[in-house]
Structure 1
Amino acid sequence: MKCLIVDYMYDNIEELLLAAGLEPDYQPTIARDGIMNIIHNYEGLIIRSKTRVDEALVTQAKQLKFVGRAGAGIDNLDEEALNRRNIKILNAPEGNRNALGEHCMGLLLGLLNNIVKSDREVRSGVWDREGNRGYELSGKTIALVGYGYMGTAFAEKLRGFGCEVLVFDKYKTDCTDDFVRQTSMGEIYERADIFSLHIPLTKETRGLVDFNYINKFRKKIFLINTARGEIVSLAGLCQAIESGKVIGAGLDVLENEKISNLTSSEQKMFEYLVNSNKTILTPHVAGWSYESYEKINNVLIDKIKREINGIQ
């Protein structure tokens, strides 16, 4: 079984595929046109985020048995087109969940304690203790929307901080344990101090968190987004920061992450976030640690091996 890899992967990808009984073809620099021209030769395809696996590509993939997504999100895959052809979708959220959970903690503690803001000020010769007075995490209510691999990873990191964790996940009914309590969005709007997103990008969630959504929270909140940028309307977020409803926002993802190619309105919002002392921005690296880079390979190839050997 031949497997085409079209993105850069950790160095052991070919070794792992060979050990699993596959013939790897590692072409991390290949462009979409090149993939379209040769995909008919392969039973397997491994991607990260640069390649859109859509109807046009799948139509050319006459022998394709599986698509492996080296990471968690599968919003760049046309699930309907793949399912219609019985092409298995495999991803590896187990590989980067720990990295994402730790990154969420970094964003949250950075916001609560003005770490980035005060660092910039001290480097500029400003010693402002009162202006950088922080908030303690202990005693706060943290609301997680989405409680899959990423939401649970963040919850695990919050243990020991003396906070309350509420969860809303419309597709699960068994999230409550000795630390986390599943609840309604109504209670989250009423009680949350901190709001963190851990849901996939879908037609339903695109643009979900706009100003009207944020304004439903009774309290002023801190907002964390390490999921997908398109879930949060930056126009709405900027408005919420300006109004004081959002005290601070930690964003690992943006609505448009091609920041060298923003529209004029996107550029205006981006500049607002960049110049605000209430934001921490990171370049979609929450799950992108040195360790996760390798772990994703191991998880994904193990799933591929089980799939081709018919192991549940």
Structure 2
Amino acid sequence: MIILNRKVLIIDKMHDSIFNMLEQIGFSADYRPDASRQEIEAVVGDYEVLFLRSKLSVDEAFLRKAGRLKVVGRAGAGVDQLDVETLEQRGISLINAPEGNRDAVAEHAVGMLLCLQNNLLKADAQVRQSIWDREGNRGTELSEKTVGIIGYGHMGQAFARRLQGFGCRLLAYDKFRQGFSDELVQESSQEDIFEQADVVSFHFPLTEENRGIINGAYLSRFKKEILLINTARGEILPLKDLVEKLKSGKVRGAALDVLENEKLHQLSAEEKENFDYLVQCDKVLLSPHVAGWTHESYRKINAVLVEKLKNLLY
């Protein structure tokens, strides 16, 4: 059990429900979503609990100013902006909330998959231009297809459950989990997925080890022409390699909720060239990192964080 003071510093915008939820376990919130990093660093030393989304990196320099900190709560799933090693060294508990937005991510991924399988983006644009091309927009059913899921944590499992009714075969690989085969999914090696998958969807967190791992060499290992879905982190998939495989046909379509560089007004010349190709390609579907960002998940994330904070206390 950790004994804490009764205030939480919140430095990102969160659903209003967070205040009542914290009150129910005896906490009050100091809500500073508009504060700059400098302003936050000036006050963080007074707090033992910090909640944030993606406003700033919790690195060693920041933590030196947070001498009393005992708990960091990430209002979301990914913790790539947090120096996990330093948090552990300082004895600071880290909690995050993948349970809060896993359903949102799963539904978004399925929606993107169905959109690409059935050419809905292209068909909609054509009909709006009075082009009635039935044959050119003939869809492909998911039934009897093999879907490979890379990463079988909260997000991967939720995605698999959403696909259960489509009659497709599900293969899953997770570097850190074994023995999870059941009536829904078959535990597989990456080699099995390379050999058999028609669709591949990525559901693992970003680390320095896997940054850029879904590169040209990786994509070349798939035996079939694949449809690719990335709702994880953009930095795992170099866009230049994806563009190359789209052009060659190895990737027959891509659904991307995340990009290697999401600051679209700060792209390098090469990044801009690759992004422009994705924009004009009717085999690509894009969304602005919103897969886990539904009206429902906004509140669910709060509930998960507060429950985990409560469990640290008692």
Structure 2 residue runs of 5 or longer lacking an equivalent are: none
1:179 equivalent in structure 2: 184
2:296 equivalent in structure 1: 291
Is 1:221–2:226 an aligned residue pair? yes
Q: Once the 2 structures are TM-superposed, how far is the Cα of residue 230 of structure 1 from its aligned partner?
A: 0.2
- Following superposition of structure 1 onto structure 2, how do residues 129-278 of structure 1 map, counting pairs within 5 Å? 129-278=134-283
Inter-partner Cα distance in structure 1 for 2:176 and 2:33: 35
Match of 2:50 among 23, 39, 45: 45
Match of 2:66 among 61, 74, 77: 61
Inter-partner Cα distance in structure 2 for 1:123 and 1:29: 41
1:124 equivalent in structure 2: 129
Inter-partner Cα distance in structure 1 for 2:33 and 2:55: 10
Alpha-carbon RMSD across the aligned residues, in angstroms, is: 0.8
Inter-partner Cα distance in structure 1 for 2:15 and 2:55: 16
Inter-partner Cα distance in structure 2 for 1:62 and 1:243: 53
Does the 8 A contact of 1:3 with 1:45 survive in 2? yes
2:99 equivalent in structure 1: 94
Inter-partner Cα distance in structure 2 for 1:164 and 1:16: 41
2:25 equivalent in structure 1: 20
Inter-partner Cα distance in structure 2 for 1:222 and 1:175: 25
Using structure 1 for the length normalisation, give the TM-score.
0.98
Match of 1:9 among 14, 24, 32: 14
One-letter identity of the residue aligned with 1:52: S
Inter-partner Cα distance in structure 1 for 2:265 and 2:44: 31
Q: How many residues align?
A: 309
Does the 8 A contact of 1:14 with 1:26 survive in 2? no
| Cα displacement string for residues 149-171 of structure 1 (whole angstroms, at most 9, x for unaligned residues) | 00000000000111000001111
Secondary structure of the residue aligned to 1:25 is: strand
Inter-partner Cα distance in structure 2 for 1:197 and 1:23: 38
Does the 8 A contact of 1:221 with 1:248 survive in 2? yes
Identity percentage of aligned residues: 51
| Cα displacement string for residues 98-152 of structure 1 (whole angstroms, at most 9, x for unaligned residues) | 1111001101000100011111111122111111111100000000000000000
Q: Once the 2 structures are TM-superposed, how far is the Cα of residue 191 of structure 1 from its aligned partner?
A: 0.4
2:310 equivalent in structure 1: 305
Does the 8 A contact of 1:167 with 1:175 survive in 2? no
Inter-partner Cα distance in structure 2 for 1:180 and 1:79: 31
Task: Give 4+ residue runs of structure 1 displaced > 3 Å after superposition.
Answer: none
Secondary structure of the residue aligned to 1:222 is: strand
One-letter identity of the residue aligned with 2:163: L
